[in-house]
Chain A
Amino acid sequence: MSLIASYETPEALLEAMLLIRAYELRVSAVSAERSTPGTCTSVGQEAAAVGVVSALGADDLILTNHRSAGHLLARGADPGRLMAEVMGRSDGYCKGKSGSLHISARELGVVLTSTIVGGELSLATGVALSQTMLGRPGIVACFFGDGAACEGIFHESLNLGAVWKLPILFVCENNEWQAFVHRRETMVGDRIAAWAAPYGIDSATVDGNDVEAVRAAATAAAAAVRRTGMPFLLETATYRQRGHFEPDDQSYVDAQELAAWKQRDPIARMQARLADSRGLTAGDFAGLEARVAARIDAALAFAQVSPYPQPAELLTDVYV
């Protein structure tokens, strides 16, 4: 059985979002007790992650960034190995050497995570060049935020991707926040998708808090990349409900704006839709949440007993 998650039903999309939410809230709670390092969460952005990742094929590759738990879990990552990594334990995906910030999981096709904002944009062209030159079937999905879009490397990456005709699905998760600064202070206009046209790259913006809409848009965008061999820029319009980095009191956040976006929470919206269209009940949702909570309990228990790396690991995985 493939390690890579596949999505047959709308309920599976909801369950993946619930898993991401529960995972990130649990990791935040544990870090608030100061027993693990803080993390960058993507609470509120689950639909953007699940919608895109569920639209990818098993051969496709993913590059992500410091806010990666959603992408990893949506792809099928084991939450226990993720928590172990966050806690610096040897059973983590990177043997504890990454921590939360640069987790990659080659077995899932999640390659070359960079926590330098825009770093993944610099690497995606090379990964796509390998896919093309080595005749591999998969396209490359590169996740970044509105902050990275304001880096020069975003423009270098789109330009070279277009000039060399590389199969890259650029996915901009516009979550309105660039670390501690609202993007309206730092960015011209509201939409990053518009920045693709000058490079001859097709683009779309989708409601990033509607998982089915994101999945449909990403399916179409990925199909366009496969059909044309050219990059495509998909912008998911979403919102970061928690701070930049745990813990963060969000004193700099406009309370009205945050409340308005919480009204559009992607999980609540999907639950309402499933209740409406497929007759799911409160009991069904409680059952899903209990199943997810049990997985997170087991994951934390696994991570907490995972041994720390041996001191000799300090000098491995690099020439010295």
Chain B
Amino acid sequence: MSMITVHEAMSQALAEEMRRDARVLMFGEGVATKRKDLLAEFGASRVRNTPLAEGIIAGTAVGAAATGLRPVVDLLFAPFLTLAMDALVNSAGKLRYLSGGQFEFPLVAIAMTGSGWCVGAQHNHNLEAWFAHAPGLKVVMPSNAADFKGLLKSAIRDDNPVLFFVDLGLLHQTGEVPGSESLVPIGQAAVARPGRDVTLVSYAKTVPVCLQAAETLAAEGISAEVVDLRTVKPLDLSTVLASVGRTRRAVVVHEASLTCGVGAEVAALLAEHAFDSLMAPVRRLAGPDTPTPASYPLEQAFVPQAAAVAEAARTLVRPG
């Protein structure tokens, strides 16, 4: 175990997987410039800069994945994915199916998102639900250094296209990271804190928010369980159901805008599968249906806060 940042955890995952498998290569906007360590170890053929042209970056990754390589592409900020969506959604997500299984698309598309850098809505837009709605794609969004490393390694080894979202607010946070061969499986949630009275379901930067809320609640005698989804799709329904089956109350928390967000899916799944266990309606706390502002206080206000999460949980556990 060692204490490293999320950024360092991702660098370790990339280097280890490139060392393990000669078919893995990485390219994108500034990849060779910023990842000098990878360039030095693996050479200019496997670590490449590209034009600032997301359509061809993603398309090249998809074409390469179908024909024997395992590309990882860095598309920088999530809103830039709108220019890469034809390749990712129409080609990578659909052509395995439409070809009757003739081709697979083992690729990882990395994009940063979320508040923290005051960059405004054309650099900060949590698009994970868009891609979760597109068939054939997996969507990963970790909350801590160990999961960033373990999930990125799993994403690189997966034979499906994986969208790997990096929450900007977490990039420089540190965490304990185990040794090289500790993979975190895609599609497996984690119980970040056990509890009895209410389940806080979240992912990415709002997991620490939920953990903070759970601390507050504990001081009041309310035991909150925090479930970190880690993977948005495929979503680990059984872990969520097991938790809510015990606590019988749920609050879903994420930074992405409320309408048709991941919280809507989780709430619908709970209504379908856990209606009889629920003692109270499922609550959703999410960003508003607005673009994200640049101004620091407004940007912070966009994200659900621990006090609001604690209050939502409190009203579920102690109504009236």
Contacts and interface: CB of A to CB of B under 8 A. Distances in A.
B99 A102 contact: yes
Interface stretch (B84-92, B109-117, B252-260, B303-311): B84-92
B97 A153 contact: no
A93 B65 CA distance: 21
A50 B90 CA distance: 28
A102 B98 CA distance: 7
A131 B103 CA distance: 16
A80 interface: no
Contact of A97 (B60, B86, B91, B97): B97
B135 interface: yes
B297 interface: no
A318 B97 contact: yes
A131 B68 CA distance: 9
A120 to B, nearest CB: 9
Interface in B94-113: 95-103
Contacts of B98: 94, 97-98, 102
Contacts of A128: 63
A318 B51 CA distance: 31
Contact of B60 (A98, A114, A129, A131): A129
A72 to B, nearest CB: 13
A61 B102 CA distance: 14
Nearest to A63: B63
B59 interface: yes
B56 A319 contact: no
A204 interface: no
B213 to A, nearest CB: 34
Contacts of A61: 67
B63 A106 contact: no
Nearest to A127: B63
A319 B66 contact: no
A97 B53 CA distance: 31
A126 B62 CA distance: 7
A98 B71 CA distance: 25
B138 interface: yes
Nearest 7 CB-CB pairs, A to B?
A126-B63, A122-B59, A126-B64, A95-B100, A123-B63, A156-B56, A94-B100
Interface of B: 25, 45-46, 48, 50-51, 53, 55-56, 58-69, 71, 86-87, 90-91, 95-103, 135-136, 138, 160, 234
23 contacts: A97-B99, A98-B98, A98-B100, A102-B99, A104-B99, A106-B102, A106-B103, A111-B67, A114-B95, A119-B87, A122-B55, A123-B63, A123-B66, A133-B46, A134-B67, A134-B68, A153-B86, A159-B53, A159-B56, A160-B50, A163-B51, A317-B97, A318-B136
Given A102-B95, A122-B91, A127-B67, 11 more contacts: A94-B100, A97-B100, A112-B91, A116-B91, A122-B60, A123-B66, A126-B60, A126-B71, A129-B63, A131-B67, A153-B56
